[in-house]
Structures are given as structure tokens and as C-alpha cells.
């Protein structure tokens, strides 16, 4: 490994490129911590804490809340500069290795300063707030933190807020008890005056309802699952399985449906359909596997109903060859009848790639399946890549735009096209559109549902059910 001054030799062109190089769990933790920190920061502004401390007062301004979110999200970005071995503190580190690990906050601050200096040229206060948050969030109230060993009011207030937010998240994501969030609040309180600022900790206790909503929003990313009935763990050893992610209603930020992905067990891990596609086609298993997964989707529908977990539909992208099978609608009807599943609960997804390879049989199949009462979702399309007439002829009820549409959401052609689809009664969805200025345009275009990083990634069915049951626990 080529290292210089304890840093891995990596050149990043942007902050987002550096952030994307982090392992997925660190990225997810950054997003969650950002939401917690932003909520605590806004409460601190309203509560006017430390009114006599000028350094605090100049930072506690509500207009800086997005900067605080970004600082918390990027608070571990310095780990992008070192090998994965140094992403977590370990008991067997030598003094030199521990010193290298403890440099990540200052290394991260320097990296962000270099990459964002031009963008923040006219906003030096925002940049300083950002850097203070990144570098100061690992300092401890008692002076035993790092990288500088600052204590109490020497630690920048944004760093103190992020430290509390991260501690809350780190504890809450673990499986500790029947009430994991309450357990996390207790642990934060016990760290008050030792690792954490007591005044900031008191804000967390006061704002527990809002913070619990953040915990609930991201529970699918965590292991904070209480003990649940036997019903929730009966899938673990299947050689093939469906994994699920939430479909979120944008306005309420509530899960309204789930999208499934086919997964196949390979030794101790699961791989996706793309990695198995050639072998499955070679063995001529497309039809059998497709029926199997459709039946499992129906089984999951009953399972969610039994557990009283709300959802409008379950969506599945089947292998493309299956959609071209003659008499497919009869196979679907038989599965629905055999499993006694309400057709409107099942949604078949048609990708842009599948549409490009469409056949007359495929189009007829989609229309007939729609007439059975199933939902049809066209997914991953750009603007005007498919006409309203084609969507209607296939019985489409949902349409998901690709992430590439984000930058052109303000274009008149985009507005006209999406307005036409919405007026025809087609539910509009977004996929992977994360930028706030793009998401702000969703309402204008009647985009009401989304699947993205904030909603959560695919998880095994057991984890989905356990998570949703956890949300229902007192």
C-alpha cells in the first residue's frame, strides 16, 4: 500500500467522490448522523444555549442547518484516505497505528477544505462551520478525545453537537433491547460530562420525539431489532430469496410499498440475478424461477398482512425473458389463485432495457396481467423515452424516472411530459435523485413516491419484517 504521512495515495476530484469511496455502512451512518445533528442543532438555536459564549452564538444560526448536516455526513470522510484496516479503532493497534487512526478527523477537514474552498469562497463562515464540525466531532468533553485533545468549551459547538448525534446513532443501530432507541438515549445520558457536552445532551432528552422519528425512518439500515415472534424468522436458509427496500411517499416520508430484488445464496453471501443470469438461461430455468419468485412475493404479501404491516403493493422486476413467454397471464393468474393473493397487491416492473427488447407477446402479456388487477410499473426511463399511449396500452399505473432526469427537472419538456402522465392517472416515482435542489421540484411535477438512499437499501425479508414490527413496538 503506497502511504505518505499516514495517508493512502488517493486523489479525489470532489467531496462526493471521496464520500462514495467509503464502505456503505459508513455512508449510511453519515446520513443518519446528519439528520440527528441537524435536528439537535435547530433545537440548540431555538433554546439559545450558552448565551454568553460568543463563539457559540456566531455558530448557532438557523441558516447554517444544512451546513451542519453536511459536516455530520462528512465527519468520517478522512477514512477515505486510509486503508479499511484503519476505519475502526482496534484493541491490537500499535501506538503508531492508533495515532494514524486518530488523524482521520483532521485529514478529513483538510480534504474537504481543499475540495470545497472554491465553492465556499463567498461563504467563509459556512466553510469554517463545516470544518469545525468535521474536525471537532471526535473530541471528548473531558479532554480524552482526538485529534487535538480539546476539552469542554475548547471544542467547537458544531463538533459537540455532531458527537452527541453520532453517539446516539451508534448505540441505536445495535440490537440491545426491546426498546433500542430508549436504550441509546440512556447511553447518551450516561456519557454526559464525560464524552459529551451536558447541555447538548439535555437537548436530546427534550427532543426525543423528533429524534425517534429519525430513528424510525432509517430502521431498515440498522440491527436495532427487538425480540419478535417466531413468525419473523423463517427465511434465513433459503437458497433463493427476495430482498426488499421501501418505496417512500415523499410528502409524508412514510413507507407505502416495497420493491423486491431476486437474490441467490453463494456460500455465506447472497448474489444478485445479474451474476446468475447466464447460468439460469443456460439451464433453461427462467420460467420456473420466475414463477417461484412470484409465488414468494405473494407469500410475503400474506406475511405482511398477518403481521399488520402496511403496504399498498409489492413490486418485482422479473427476468426479461419471462415477460415474453406465451400465456404468461395464465401463469400469473394461477399463482394468484393458488396463493389467494389480491392482484392489486402485486406489481410487475418493466425496465427501460426490457422495453427496448420488447416483443408483441410481451406487450400483450403486460396488458392482460394489468387486466387481472396487478399493477405495472415502468422503471428507469428518461423523458419521452416512452409515450403515454404505449404506457396505457400496457396497463401501466406507475412510472419511475431515472436519476439522470434530476438535472433536467426544470426543463419545459420535462414538465410537459410528466404533467401529461400525471393527468392520465399514472403515479410518478423517482429513483436515486438525492440532490435537494432536484428533490425540491418533485411537487411541481406530481412525483409522489421515491426509492433512494434516504429510503433505504435492499434487506432480507426477515430484516424487513423484524424492522417494521420494531416500529410498532411501544
Residue partners of 187: CB distance under 8 A and separation at least 6: 167, 171
3-state SS class at 192: strand
Q: Band of the pLDDT at 472, cuts 50, 70, 90? A: low
3-state SS class at 439: helix
CATH for 3-221? Answer: 1.10.3210.10
Ramachandran angles phi, psi of 365, nearest 5°:
-60, -45
pLDDT of 312-341, one tens digit each? 999 999 987 899 999 999 999 988 988 889
DSSP, residue by residue, 300-340: HHHHHHHTT---S-EEE---HHHHT-TTHHHHHHHHHHHHT
DSSP tag of 85 = G
pLDDT of 87-114, one tens digit each? 888 888 888 888 888 899 999 999 999 9
The domain spans of the chain are: 3-221, 230-472
How many Å apart are CA 33 and CA 166, to the nearest integer?
5
* Model confidence pTM above 0.85: no
Topology match between the domains 3-221 and 230-472 = no
Q: What is the pLDDT of residue 266?
A: 65
Integer angstrom CA distances of residue 207 from 11, 106, 395: 40, 30, 46
Looking at residues 272-287, what average pLDDT do you find? 82
How many Å apart are CA 139 and CA 356, to the nearest integer?
55
DSSP tag of 443 = G
* Pairing, β 269-272 against β 314-316: unpaired
DSSP tag of 354 = H
Q: What is the pLDDT of residue 3?
A: 46
Give me the CATH topology for the region 230-472. TIM Barrel (3.20.20)
Q: What is the pLDDT of residue 423?
A: 94
Q: Is the pLDDT of residue 311 over 90?
A: yes
Amino acid at each position: 500500500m503506497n502511504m505518505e504521512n499516514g495517508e493512502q495515495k488517493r486523489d479525489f476530484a470532489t467531496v462526493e467522490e471521496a464520500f462514495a469511496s467509503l464502505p456503505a455502512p459508513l455512508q449510511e451512518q453519515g446520513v443518519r448522523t446528519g439528520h440527528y445533528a441537524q435536528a439537535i442543532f435547530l433545537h440548540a438555536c431555538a433554546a439559545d444555549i450558552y448565551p454568553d459564549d460568543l463563539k457559540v452564538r456566531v455558530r448557532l444560526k438557523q441558516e447554517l442547518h444544512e451546513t451542519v448536516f453536511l459536516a455530520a455526513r462528512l465527519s468520517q470522510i478522512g477514512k477515505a484516505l486510509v486503508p479499511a484496516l484503519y476505519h475502526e479503532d482496534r484493541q491490537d493497534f500499535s501506538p503508531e497505528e492508533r495515532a494514524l487512526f486518530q488523524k482521520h478527523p483532521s485529514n478529513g477537514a483538510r480534504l474537504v477544505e481543499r475540495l470545497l474552498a472554491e465553492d465556499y469562497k463567498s461563504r467563509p463562515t459556512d466553510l469554517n462551520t463545516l470544518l469545525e464540525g468535521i474536525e471537532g466531532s471526535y473530541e471528548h468533553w473531558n479532554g480524552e478525545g482526538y485529534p487535538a485533545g480539546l476539552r469542554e468549551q475548547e471544542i467547537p459547538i458544531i463538533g459537540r453537537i455532531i458527537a452527541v448525534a453520532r453517539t446516539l446513532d451508534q448505540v441505536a443501530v445495535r440490537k440491545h433491547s426491546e426498546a433500542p432507541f430508549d436504550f441509546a438515549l440512556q447511553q447518551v445520558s450516561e456519557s454526559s460530562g464525560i464524552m459529551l457536552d451536558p447541555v447538548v445532551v439535555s437537548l436530546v432528552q427534550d427532543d426525543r420525539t423528533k429524534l425517534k422519528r429519525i430513528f424510525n425512518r432509517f430502521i431498515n439500515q440498522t440491527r436495532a431489532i427487538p425480540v419478535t415472534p417466531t413468525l419473523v424468522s423463517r427465511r434465513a436458509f433459503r437458497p433463493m430469496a427476495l430482498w426488499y427496500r421501501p418505496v417512500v411517499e415523499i410528502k409524508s416520508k412514510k413507507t407505502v410499498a416495497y420493491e423486491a430484488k431476486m437474490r441467490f445464496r453463494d456460500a455465506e453471501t447472497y448474489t444478485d440475478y445479474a451474476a446468475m443470469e447466464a447460468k439460469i438461461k443456460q439451464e433453461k430455468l427462467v420460467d420456473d424461477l420466475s414463477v417461484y419468485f412470484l409465488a414468494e412475493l405473494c407469500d410475503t404479501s400474506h406475511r405482511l398482512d398477518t403481521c399488520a404491516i402496511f403496504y399498498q403493493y409489492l413490486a418485482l422486476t422479473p427476468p426479461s425473458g419471462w415477460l415474453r413467454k406465451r400465456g404468461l397471464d395464465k401463469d400469473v393468474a394461477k399463482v394468484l389463485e393458488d396463493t389467494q393473493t389480491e392482484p392489486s397487491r402485486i406489481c410487475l416492473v418493466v425496465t427501460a432495457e426490457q422495453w427496448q427488447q420488447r416483443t408483441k407477446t410481451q406487450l400483450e402479456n403486460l396488458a392482460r396481467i394489468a387486466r387481472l388487477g396487478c399493477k405495472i410499473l415502468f422503471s428507469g426511463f428518461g423523458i419521452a423515452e416512452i409515450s403515454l399511449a404505449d404506457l396505457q396500452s400496457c396497463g401501466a399505473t406507475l412510472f419511475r424516472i431515472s436519476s439522470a432526469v434530476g438535472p433536467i427537472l426544470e426543463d419545459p419538456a420535462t414538465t410537459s411530459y410528466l404533467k401529461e402522465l400525471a393527468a392520465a392517472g399514472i403515479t410518478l416515482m423517482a429513483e436515486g435523485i438525492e440532490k435537494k435542489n432536484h428533490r425540491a421540484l418533485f411537487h411541481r411535477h406530481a412525483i409522489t413516491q421515491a426509492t433512494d438512499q434516504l429510503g433505504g437499501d435492499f434487506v432480507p425479508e426477515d430484516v424487513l419484517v423484524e424492522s417494521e414490527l420494531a416500529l410498532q413496538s411501544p
